[in-house]
Structure 1
Amino acid sequence: MGRVSGGVIGADAGAASGATGGSVKSELVARSNRLGSDPRITNYAGGNTSAKGVETDPVTGEPVELLWVKGSGGDLGTLTESGLAVLRLDRLRALTGVYPGVDREDEMVAAFDYCLHGKGGAAPSIDTAMHGLVDAAHVDHLHPDAGIAFATATDGPALTAAAFGGRVAWVPWRRPGFQLGLDIAAIKAANPDAVGCILGGHGITAWGDTSDEAEERSRWIIDTAEAYLAEHGSAEPFGPARDGFGALPEAERHAKAAALAATIRGLASHDKPMVGHFADADVVLDFLAGAKAPALAALGTSCPDHFLRTKVKPLLLDLPADASIEDSIARLKELHEAYRADYSAYYDAHATPESPAMRGADPAIVLVPGVGMFSYGANKQTARVAGEFYVNAINVMRGAESVSTYTPIDDGEKFRIEYWALEEAKLQRMPKPKTHQGRVAFVTGAASGIGKAIATRLAAEGACVVVADLDLEKARAAAAELGGTDVAIGVAANVADAAGVQAAIDQTLLAFGGIDLVVNNAGLSLSKPLLETTEKDWDLQHDVMAKGSFLVSKAAAKALIEQGMGGDVIYISSKNSVFAGPNNIAYSATKADQAHQVRLLAVELGEHGIRVNGINPDGVVRGSGIFASGWGANRAATYGVAEEDLGQFYANRTILKREVVPENVADAVFVLTGPELSRTTGLHIPVDSGVAAAFLR
């Protein structure tokens, strides 16, 4: 091979400098971001790009040829220079002399460590050989739906020749690795007019002498594939629509999805808790309506990036769209048992003594005709991306079936990828999950004060959080502060309205697949003596706190029980539930009602593994919506202190003489719902800095 400078094969390496490498890297990152941000071109975290160039070796002062390539686990759309692996090309190419063959393929990944330049940047991926061994300055490996449609078509080689002529070569399926890099390098050398290749069962690879040329060729391959499928594809690639399996009206399918969500999440979490995502895009609904859907779903996905996220195939409900909720649930449970048995048989058929243990036999994708797709993962982002990958798979099946027959790689090859030692090592390197990862929390009154502090703490501990509040805009704003919609959403919730509460719980089920943790925090207070307390005052406070907590707990408990995963219900009660303070009969009475709901529900829901506990705060002035709305002024007047001194007044009357803030209450919620108190239910925890008169007896 010629020497490399500024990313161009054959240039004079002696003229290179450190700045040359900098320009190559910046061009590579920019190209990667453009390609990775277009879902037509590649899926999230899929594919990789590279560039070759020259920098000065700081040890010898001589120019050294380097390869910059997207590192393992990175995403093209968000790639930065820190996500690039950096290797010396002379050492990488020298590995061809020690390559022990396909049977010892995995050893080559460890060998890449001996090719790193300096600190090496990100960890090299299994595709590094493809980029380093191909005789081109810039290489793109991508997973476009149209390209994979060719790659998974029975007539893939003939279709490639027909669509691209001699400009795109066909590479038979081979598991990613060093040998695949050798294969592509040899095919490129044998086809000098080729600008890229279709990798059987996998994706595409393109190359160029400049970054712009590589990108242009990648896009040309994808555009040409799409145009060929559009011109030559059949009108009904999924077969004629099945009677009764078409999409339900939007409101009806969302209602059915919410009614099924808890059951399906429980099934998908048989081995370990999962977070869910629901999608009802037209592409999904059209696929489920087609006559070929059952057969195609059973074939599973093909591209390694797809089935590592979606499992080898989905669970498909075999009932029409108008099947009742009861019939659908019963059938889903039957199909789940069959799915687990089938997956276990798949594992047993292909596992060797060296294979990692089975990671779980539950489906990651559940398809419901007329309704949509439920996808699952360890967190919301993983669940959402799994669904996106299955949409990619649907598009691949559509393309392949429109011009040929969809033929994915066989189960043996899928197993070799899914239970690859390298894949297992990648999973083992993942950080330990936080205490609340995989849990879905619903917090009322969470746009401010104690509720906001609780939502913030739970999100920080890994939970998905629904910020429920009477004010929708404030709820959404508070949720946005916690992160994107993979972390938190805001919903409107008038807790005194049963229909509104159910709608908020349904939104929770559709957003995150289920519910695990409920915090009854919404409240208000009017400080008045008995003779000034009106019936309206009494009803308002009881409607929001006593009735509101009852309605929220009832709606959530239905989902928690159906889910079968246990859960937590927390009541933010008050010191006033056990201590008679002056001039607040309505507030204190309703707090006592809440406190007793804790005891009653702890007994009733315990058989379902649902724990119910309470927290009794006192004197939480800072950040409190209740105190800011007039309660603070009234209490200050009652005690004869300035309103701005009220927090310190409450602190001075306690044993610890320390002010209570919203974060202290959030800490108590964290402890009560974490793993340390898993055998605790029916408990009330005071968070009041010590008020002796309110000690629980």
Structure 2
Amino acid sequence: MSTHPEVAALLARSNRLGADPRNTNYAGGNTSAKGTETDPVTGSDIELMWVKGSGGDLGTLKEGGLAVLRTDRLKALTAVYPGVEREDEMVAAFDYCLHGKGGAAPSIDTAMHGLVDAAHVDHLHPDSGIALACAADGEKLTAACFGEQVVWVPWRRPGFQLGLDIAAIKAANPQAIGCVLGGHGITAWGDTAEECERNSLFIIRTAETFLAERGRAEPFGPALEGYAALDAAERRARAAALAPYIRGLASSDRPQVGHFDDSGTVLDFLASAEHPRLAALGTSCPDHFLRTKVRPLVLDLPPTAELTTVVDRLTELHAAYREEYAAYYRRHATPDSPAMRGADPAIVLVPGIGMFSFGKDKQTARVAGEFYLNAINVMRGAEAVSTYAPIEESEKFRIEYWSLEEAKLQRMPKPKALATRVALVTGAGSGIGKAIAHRLVAEGACVVVADLNADGAAAVAEELGGADKAVAVEVDVTSEEQIADAFRAAALAFGGVDLVVNNAGISISKPLLETTAKDWDLQHDIMARGSFLVSREAARVMKAQGMGGDIVYIASKNAVFAGPNNVAYSATKADQAHQVRLLAAELGADGIRVNGVNPDGVVRGSGIFAGGWGAQRAATYGIEEEKLGEFYAQRTLLKREVLPEHVANAVFALTGGELTHTTGLHVPVDAGVAAAFLR
């Protein structure tokens, strides 16, 4: 079935508008188009409305993300509307206006689009428009900026009544091309898709120009002495050191993934004298504070303060934040309000360093930060021409704990087993490590792909879905500094680390008399010493977070089985195996579990075997190299070849949440090698 011309125009317009963050934020706003189509039941023409559904994003909107409704039935709802006190009931009524099968669920803004007498409607959240909407004298400023072309609509929570309000204002002002919604955003309309988009952009750009030309030079006040940003290297080093502590605080109610932003917008705001006052007023439009909470946690120390002093102060401020959030909930909750969802901050601002944002996954954390950037821009615009005055706290609560918002949250899919977990896997650019990284991401984790081969690591990170899922780091596990850098990268990318897999390794297969001291040292430096160094750095981060964690060693059945011509490799695997026991005993009090996996020879897909180890082992056993996997399989009890994904399965079994009381264990993944049974 071909796409209706109005739908094609709507999608193109939506994607253009949504691609520019000056026009609207991620997943913010909605667009619609009305048009005629043949009713398949009666054969007569009917008027339909296509509107962006609940939860979609304009920049990536596709036809499946549109709700399709009959406009005659939408307009008929005005006859049964029970009034503003019961307007939430109208959302369920939208289902009776739907046309055909499929499509997205209608959003709360559907009435705004359906009741306004215009073929095309855009509702957007541009920073410039919200700046006017959240200024103390927003109505007067709107008139000064637009004259009679754009009309002011006083604050009202999104819903059916707001749709009626806008429809009435448009009818009373035929010259208007749109309106500024107090405390919220803008709405524009037009007879065609082109006219509607042109009107939206006119409102946005005109507001930008107005704020730039009429605004004062320092809307955030003078610089705050001692709060200037540190230089980039020092700033990011301090951020990486703080991130695990802050993530641990922000995860007091439930684990969170972090995101860090040290853009100029953030740093300039935090270096200004007015930032404590403005931050305390909270974020602006509903889309913002649903993701950022009503206000951020703001550190009140300069960036040069000692790290221990900063950590202690953040701990104090976090306790105070939780108490205040609980008091906010008590001030406004009614008997039928949803339960408090958690009192931890979503945004933590550290002057001179940057912004830490948190969410249930990396994308949510990143988007929360982007919304606070929007809020800073709104504050700047409002303070430039007036005073920043967001909606009342009670109204924020009504939206944050709205029954409709709660219902949307309840419809969200159940989190995957490793959701909110951040993993660092060494040797993840190929073979077993790559398979482990893929399995962990598939189960909801974020992964730091660490490998000596930078190109290989980058390729795997890209396969895994890019920066919201995985980041690549080049690391030689014999280097303490490179390992520390890898964990710093993890802290900046995701807030810290919860799960570490010691997988990096090499294999040198020689008889004792041919094994050189250099062979021995290299084997031990990479696997025994490297695993020790990685585990030591992991423990530092995990202790700082206070969230427990998992360390998994990819050891080998050779840790307990005495194979031929293999003294350096097998000895270092035995070293790794005992590290598991030693660290499990030492780190258990911190909730850090340490376990191991003992594979047999993993030939297919293995970087080690492809790098010469396969040829060496085949020569030892007197077989062709391409038959090595089959050879290994035939010597097992199950007669099955071990593949990288089987090792990855064992890592998931140890870390996926079922074996919560298991530490110090070695799991054989060898298809049954009796000589390697643990005793």
Q: TM-score, normalised by structure 1?
A: 0.97
* Aligned mate of 1:537, from 504, 519, 522: 519
Distance 1:417 1:620 in 2: 54
1:232 aligns with 2:214: yes
Q: Which amino acid letter does the alignment assign opposite residue 237 of structure 1? A: P
Match of 2:307 in 1: 325
Match of 1:593 in 2: 575
The answer to whether the 8 Å contact 2:284/2:378 transfers is: no
Distance 2:470 2:305 in 1: 32
Match of 2:298 in 1: 316
Q: Which amino acid letter does the alignment assign opposite residue 289 of structure 1? A: A
Distance 1:685 1:86 in 2: 53
1:364 aligns with 2:378: no
* Aligned mate of 1:260, from 242, 265, 289: 242
Match of 1:5 in 2: none
SS at match of 1:654: coil
The offset of 1:674, in angstroms, is 1.1
1:295 aligns with 2:277: yes
* Aligned mate of 2:373, from 378, 385, 391: 391
* Aligned mate of 2:444, from 459, 462, 473: 462
Match of 1:500 in 2: 482
1:198 aligns with 2:212: no
The offset of 1:626, in angstroms, is 1.1
Q: Which amino acid letter does the alignment assign opposite residue 177 of structure 2? A: V
Match of 1:11 in 2: none
Distance 2:50 2:146 in 1: 29
User: Are residues 292 and 317 of structure 1, via their aligned partners in 2, closer, same or farther at CA, if it must alter by over 3 Å?
Assistant: same
Match of 2:205 in 1: 223
Query: Which sections of structure 2, spanning at least 5 residues, go unmatched?
Result: none
SS at match of 1:441: strand
SS at match of 2:667: strand
Distance 1:650 1:209 in 2: 72
Match of 1:306 in 2: 288
* Aligned mate of 1:449, from 431, 434, 441: 431
* Equivalent residues in 2 for 1:55-70, closer than 5 Å: 55-70=37-52
Q: Which amino acid letter does the alignment assign opposite residue 567 of structure 1? A: G
Match of 2:558 in 1: 576
Distance 1:131 1:73 in 2: 16
SS at match of 2:254: coil
Distance 2:637 2:133 in 1: 73
The answer to whether the 8 Å contact 1:87/1:120 transfers is: no
User: For each residue in 1:463-510, what CA deviation from the matched residue of structure 2 results, as whole angstroms up to 9, or x when unmatched?
Assistant: 001110001111001111111210111101100000000000100010
The offset of 1:514, in angstroms, is 1.1
The answer to whether the 8 Å contact 1:130/1:180 transfers is: yes
Distance 2:616 2:158 in 1: 71
Query: Which of structure 1's runs of 4+ aligned residues deviate more than 2 A?
Result: none
Match of 1:7 in 2: none
1:279 aligns with 2:294: no
Q: Which amino acid letter does the alignment assign opposite residue 571 of structure 2? A: A
* Equivalent residues in 2 for 1:98-137, closer than 5 Å: 98-119=80-101, 121-137=103-119
Match of 2:61 in 1: 79
Match of 1:613 in 2: 595
Distance 2:607 2:163 in 1: 62
User: For each residue in 1:261-319, what CA deviation from the matched residue of structure 2 results, as whole angstroms up to 9, or x when unmatched?
Assistant: 00000011000010000000000000000100001000001211000000000000000
Identity within the alignment, %: 75
Match of 2:538 in 1: 556
The offset of 1:530, in angstroms, is 1.1
Match of 1:375 in 2: 357
1:650 aligns with 2:637: no
SS at match of 1:338: helix
Match of 2:618 in 1: 636
Distance 2:657 2:429 in 1: 27
Distance 1:73 1:592 in 2: 52
The offset of 1:448, in angstroms, is 0.5
User: For each residue in 1:230-285, what CA deviation from the matched residue of structure 2 results, as whole angstroms up to 9, or x when unmatched?
Assistant: 10111111110101111100000100000000000001100001000000000000
Distance 2:48 2:634 in 1: 68
Match of 2:667 in 1: 685
Match of 2:398 in 1: 416
Distance 1:475 1:410 in 2: 49
Match of 1:13 in 2: none
Distance 1:618 1:489 in 2: 29
Q: Which amino acid letter does the alignment assign opposite residue 266 of structure 2? A: V
Q: Which amino acid letter does the alignment assign opposite residue 66 of structure 2? A: L
SS at match of 2:101: strand
User: For each residue in 1:496-537, what CA deviation from the matched residue of structure 2 results, as whole angstroms up to 9, or x when unmatched?
Assistant: 000000000100010001111000000001111111111111
SS at match of 1:150: helix
Distance 2:69 2:605 in 1: 53
Distance 2:615 2:466 in 1: 37
The answer to whether the 8 Å contact 1:148/1:201 transfers is: yes
Distance 2:49 2:677 in 1: 68
Distance 1:599 1:29 in 2: 58
The offset of 1:207, in angstroms, is 0.4
Q: Which amino acid letter does the alignment assign opposite residue 612 of structure 1? A: V
The answer to whether the 8 Å contact 2:422/2:445 transfers is: yes
The answer to whether the 8 Å contact 1:289/1:369 transfers is: yes
Match of 2:324 in 1: 342
- Say what the alpha-carbon RMSD is for the aligned residues: 0.8
Count of equivalent residues: 679
Q: Which amino acid letter does the alignment assign opposite residue 270 of structure 1? A: S
Match of 1:528 in 2: 510
Q: Which amino acid letter does the alignment assign opposite residue 593 of structure 2? A: R
The offset of 1:105, in angstroms, is 1.1
Distance 1:436 1:53 in 2: 45
Distance 2:282 2:126 in 1: 18
Match of 1:6 in 2: none
Distance 2:102 2:94 in 1: 10
The answer to whether the 8 Å contact 2:253/2:342 transfers is: yes
1:675 aligns with 2:648: no
The offset of 1:192, in angstroms, is 1.1
The offset of 1:118, in angstroms, is 1.4
Distance 1:479 1:259 in 2: 24
Match of 2:585 in 1: 603
* Aligned mate of 1:49, from 5, 12, 31: 31
SS at match of 1:119: coil
SS at match of 1:405: coil
SS at match of 2:585: helix
Distance 2:43 2:431 in 1: 61
Q: Which amino acid letter does the alignment assign opposite residue 342 of structure 2? A: G
The answer to whether the 8 Å contact 2:298/2:350 transfers is: yes
SS at match of 1:542: helix
Q: Which amino acid letter does the alignment assign opposite residue 589 of structure 2? A: E
The offset of 1:121, in angstroms, is 1.7
The offset of 1:119, in angstroms, is 2.0
* Aligned mate of 1:491, from 473, 480, 487: 473
Distance 2:350 2:293 in 1: 17
Q: TM-score, normalised by structure 2?
A: 0.99
The offset of 1:120, in angstroms, is 5.7
User: For each residue in 1:133-178, what CA deviation from the matched residue of structure 2 results, as whole angstroms up to 9, or x when unmatched?
Assistant: 1111100000000000000000101100111011000000000000
Q: Which amino acid letter does the alignment assign opposite residue 295 of structure 2? A: K
Distance 2:160 2:612 in 1: 71
SS at match of 2:649: helix
